[in-house]
C-alpha cells in the first residue's frame, strides 16, 4: 500500500507550474498507430485460423454421418 503524498505545487518533490508553456504528450502517435495495426493484423490472422479449424471440423463431422 502506498502512502498518500500531500503537498503544494512548488514544494520539493512536487511539480511546478510555468506560465506560457505547453505540457508535452508522453505518447508517440506513430508508434501507437503502428502497434494498433500490428494488433489488428494478429487478430485477423487468429480469426482466420479459427475459421479454418471450424471448417475442418464441419468437414470431419459430415464425413462421420
Span 40-63, pLDDT tens digits: 999 999 999 999 999 999 999 988
What residue numbers bound the domain in which 37 lies? 23-65
Let me know the angle formed at the C-alpha of 5 by 3 and 6, rounded to the nearest 5 degrees.
140
Total-model pTM: 0.56
Number of domains into which the chain is organized:
1
d(CA 29, CA 40): 16
**Is 39 part of a structural domain of the chain?**
yes
**Is 16 part of a structural domain of the chain?**
no
Q: How confident is the model at residue 3 (pLDDT cuts 50, 70, 90)?
A: low
**Is 13 part of a structural domain of the chain?**
no
Amino acid at each position: 500500500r502506498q502512502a498518500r503524498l500531500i503537498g503544494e505545487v512548488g514544494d520539493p518533490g512536487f511539480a511546478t507550474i510555468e506560465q506560457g508553456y505547453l505540457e508535452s504528450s508522453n505518447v508517440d502517435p506513430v508508434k501507437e498507430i503502428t502497434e494498433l495495426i500490428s494488433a489488428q493484423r494478429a487478430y485477423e490472422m487468429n480469426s482466420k485460423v479459427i475459421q479454418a479449424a471450424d471448417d475442418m471440423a464441419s468437414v470431419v463431422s459430415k464425413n462421420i454421418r
